[in-house]
Amino acid sequence: MRLLLWLCLALLFVTLNSRAWSQEQGTRLALIIANADYTGQQALPANTIPDATALQRALISSGFKVDSRKNLGKVDMDKAIEAFVSKIGANATVLFFFSGYAAQIDRKTYLFPVNANSFSENDVKRDGVSLDAVVTEFDRNNAGVKIIIIDAPLLSPFEVRFRRSGGGLAAVNAPKNTLALYSSVPGKPVERSSTNGAFMSQLIKDINAANAAGDSAKDAEEVFSDLKPAVYKASQNRQFPWVSSSLIDAFYFGKQPASRPPDDHPTPKGESEKKPLTEGVPLSYQSELDLGEKDQFRECADCPEMIVVPSGKYTMGSPNDEAERTDNEGPRQSVEIPQRFAVSKFKITRDEFDKFIKETGYSTGDKCLTLEDNRAEVRGGRSFRDPGFVQDDTHPVVCLSWDDAQAYVAWLSRKTGKLYRLLTESEWEYVARAGNTTPFWWGSSITPDDANYKADVTYGRDSTKGEFRRATVPASMYKANPWGLYQVAGNAFEWVEDCWNDNYDKPAKYGIRLAENWADRSDEDVHAGGCSRRVRRGGSWSNPPRFLRAAFREWKEPKYRASNTSLRVARTLNQ
C-alpha cells in the first residue's frame, strides 16, 4: 500500500512538473532540413548531415518537438514546410533550420532543394524556396518567438552559371519577435570546407551549454551573440556569423531561469521594445515623429543602419580617481542632450564606404599611417582598400581623414535629403556611456571578450591578457551597449565633429562644442574659419585599454589618415 501511495505521489509530481514546464515554455516546434547530396553537383561536406542530427538532439533536450528531414527535393521540401506550418498554434515557439546551398535574388534568399537545376535568376525563384515566404507563413499562423538558423555560407554551384561572383544571402525580412542567425554575413559567401565546421560545432556546443546552465542560463540572443567571436576565432578569421533580432520576449533554450520569471505582461509600446528595421526609403516627417528609443531604420540600400538614442543628461569627463586619466578629460561637467537623434548601429564598414567611392569617384589618396613590422609610419600604397592588414567588407573602414568623413556624410545627406553628420564630442561620450559612469560601458575592467585592442596590456582589477591581433575585426563583433550600438570602445577610433579644446573649462551648451560656436579657440586652431585639430574618440585595435575608456580623447589634424581610424555617423531627427 505504501509503495502504491509513493508511486501515485511520484506520478503526481512528474505531472505537475511537466505542466509547469509546459506553461513556462509553451509549445516548441522545430523543423530541420539538411540538404547535402545535390543532383549533379559536388556534395556538401560530410559533416552536414551528422551536424543536423546533433542539432536535433540538442533541440530535443531544449523541449522542442523536432521534425528532421534530409536531402529533400522541391516537392518534398514544400510539403515538409507546409506540414510544419499546419502544426503551429497561437504563440508557439518555432525554430527553422536549413543547411545546404542558397542564393539571393532581388534581396530575397532562396533555399535550394537537392534537385535544383538553376541557370538564371528566374530559375532560382522557380527551383528555390523563399526564406521570407517561410517566415511570413510562421507569422501568419500567429507563432510567438520565431528562430531562423541558416547554414549556407558556400557559393552555390548554380550562381556561377549567371554571376561572376557569389552574392551570398540576403537579410531575412523578419517580422516582430524573430531571431535570425546566419553562418556568414549577408552578401558574403565563404568556403565552409576551410572552416572545419566551426559554425555548427559552436552552435551545438552553445545550445547544449544553455540547456545545462539552469538559473545561470543566457537567453538565446546572448547565446547567438557570443557565438560570433567564437566562430570567427575557430575559423581563423574566415567566417563571421550574423545575428538579427526583433525579439520582444526573451527566449531560453533550457528552462527559464528562476531569477528571471516569464513575462506575463509584455513591455508597453514606446518603452524598451525592439522593433523591426524600417528600410529602403527616406523617412517621412510623420515617420520621424513616430520613432521611439531603439527604433531602427535604413533610408536607402547603400545607407548605414541607424538606431534612435534618447535625449537626456549625463556627466562628461572622468573623475580624478579614474585610473590613467589625463587632465584634458576634465573638469567634469553636466551636459544636456535635449533632443533624441539617430546614430549608426555600427562603425561605417568597408562595403558601405566603397559604395560612396564608386558612386562619387571620391579619392582618399594612397598614403596612410600603418603599423607594420612593429613600425608605425606613413606608407605609400596604403588606403582603406589596403590598410596593411587583411580586411573584408564587414570590417570598419579605416585610413580615413576627418575630411574624408565629412565627404561621406555629405553624400548621405544628398542621397536622402536628410541631415547626416558626425557626432559632436559630447554626443559621442553620451552614447558611449549609454547611462553608465564607469570607464567602459560594461564596467571598470576590460578583457579580450569585451573589445578589440592591444590585449597584452591590462586595465582594472578583473582584467585579463589576450591576443594582440594587430588588425580590425568585423564591425558587429562583441556585444552591443545598452542602447544597441556596437564597438563604441575599440577596433577603430571614430572621428567626431568638434575642434580640439584642451579641457572642459568652458561649459558646452547642450553638449555642442563645434568650431562655429566655440569662441575661445587658440590662435593655432583658427584657420579659414575652421580648426587645425579635430577630435577622435573610442580607441582602437592598436591601443592599450586606457584609450578605450569613454572619457579618453585626443586630437589629430583633419587630413590625418591612419589604419586605426574610422567613423560613425549621426542623423538629426524631427522632434
Helices 74-86 and 131-140 cross at an angle (nearest 10°) of 20
Spatial strand order of the sheet with 554-556 comes to 554-556, 534-537, 493-499, 565-567
Tell which residue, 312, 292, 307, has the closest CA to residue 510.
Answer: 312
Confidence of residue 498 (pLDDT cuts 50, 70, 90): confident
Looking at residue 270, its pLDDT comes to 34
Considering the domain architecture, whether residues 29 and 169 belong to the same structural domain is answered as yes
Looking at residue 277, its pLDDT comes to 60
Identify residue 225 by its one-letter amino acid code: S
- Whether residue 2 lies inside any domain: the answer is no
Considering the domain architecture, whether residues 231 and 364 belong to the same structural domain is answered as no
The size of the chain, in residues, is 575
Confidence of residue 546 (pLDDT cuts 50, 70, 90): very high
The DSSP secondary structure of 78-96, one letter per residue, reads: HHHHHHHHHTPPTT-EEEE
Looking at residue 477, its pLDDT comes to 93
- Which grid coordinates belong to 520? 575661445
Give the least confident one: 8-17, 19-28, 191-200, 537-546. Answer: 8-17
CATH of the domain at 154: 3.40.50.1460
2/347 Cα distance (integer angstroms): 69
- Whether residue 256 lies inside any domain: the answer is no
Residue 540 CA, distance from chain mean position:
18
As a whole number, mean pLDDT of residues 282-295 equals 88
Considering the domain architecture, whether residues 230 and 357 belong to the same structural domain is answered as no
337/314 Cα distance (integer angstroms): 8
pLDDT in tens, 68-108: 999 999 999 999 999 999 999 999 999 999 999 999 888 88
Q: Give the residue, 459 or 509, on which the prediction is more confident.
A: 459
Looking at residue 455, its pLDDT comes to 95
- Whether residue 313 lies inside any domain: the answer is no
- Whether residue 516 lies inside any domain: the answer is yes
Percentage of residues of the chain with pLDDT beyond 70: 85
Q: Does 476 have pLDDT greater than 60?
A: yes
Positive/negative CA dihedral, 213, 218, 223, 225: negative
Looking at residue 157, its pLDDT comes to 87
- Whether residue 287 lies inside any domain: the answer is no
Considering the domain architecture, whether residues 233 and 358 belong to the same structural domain is answered as no
Q: Does 16 have pLDDT greater than 50?
A: no
The DSSP secondary structure of 217-250, one letter per residue, reads: PPPHHHHHHHHHHHHHHHTTTS---EEEE--SS-
As a whole number, mean pLDDT of residues 379-395 equals 95
Confidence of residue 413 (pLDDT cuts 50, 70, 90): very high
110/74 Cα distance (integer angstroms): 12
106/130 Cα distance (integer angstroms): 11
Domain count, the chain: 2
Looking at residue 439, its pLDDT comes to 97
> Rg of the chain's alpha carbons, rounded to an integer?
25
Q: Which of 245, 262, 285 is a domain's end point? A: 245
Which pTM value belongs to this model? Answer: 0.72
Q: Does 382 have pLDDT greater than 50?
A: yes
Looking at residue 10, its pLDDT comes to 44
- Whether residue 282 lies inside any domain: the answer is no
Looking at residue 259, its pLDDT comes to 53
Residue listed under C-alpha cell 521594445: 273
The DSSP secondary structure of 377-441, one letter per residue, reads: EEEET-BTTB-SS---TTSBP-S--HHHHHHHHHHHHHHHSS-EEEPPHHHHHHHHHTT--SSBT
Q: Is residue 537 within 8 Å of residue 493, measured between CB atoms?
A: yes
Q: What is the mean pLDDT of the chain?
A: 86
Q: Which of 245, 275, 307 is a domain's end point? A: 245
442 to each of 216, 344, 483, 549, how far by Cα in Å? 19, 20, 12, 11
Q: Give the residue, 366 or 166, on which the prediction is more confident.
A: 366
392/186 Cα distance (integer angstroms): 13
141 Cβ contact list (under 8 Å, min separation 6) = 85, 88
CATH of the domain at 451: 3.90.1580.10
Looking at residue 176, its pLDDT comes to 87
Q: Whole domain around residue 486: which residue ranges?
A: 350-571
334/509 Cα distance (integer angstroms): 10
98/36 Cα distance (integer angstroms): 11
- Whether residue 306 lies inside any domain: the answer is no
Question: Strand 108-111 relative to strand 569-571: parallel, antiparallel, unpaired?
Answer: unpaired
422/409 Cα distance (integer angstroms): 7
Strand ranges in 84-204 using DSSP code E only, listed in sequence order: 93-99, 102-105, 108-111, 129-130, 146-151, 178-182
186/172 Cα distance (integer angstroms): 9
Looking at residue 507, its pLDDT comes to 55
As a whole number, mean pLDDT of residues 304-310 equals 96
- Whether residue 157 lies inside any domain: the answer is yes
Helices 48-61 and 198-212 cross at an angle (nearest 10°) of 10
- Which grid coordinates belong to 575? 522632434
213/257 Cα distance (integer angstroms): 9
Considering the domain architecture, whether residues 359 and 228 belong to the same structural domain is answered as no
- Which grid coordinates belong to 278? 524600417
Work out the number of other CB atoms within 10 angstroms of the CB of residue 21: 13
Confidence of residue 492 (pLDDT cuts 50, 70, 90): very high
Q: Give the residue, 351 or 8, on which the prediction is more confident.
A: 351
Considering the domain architecture, whether residues 379 and 525 belong to the same structural domain is answered as yes
Strand partners, 152: none
Work out the number of other CB atoms within 10 angstroms of the CB of residue 122: 11
As a whole number, mean pLDDT of residues 351-373 equals 96
Q: Which of 245, 269, 297 is a domain's end point? A: 245
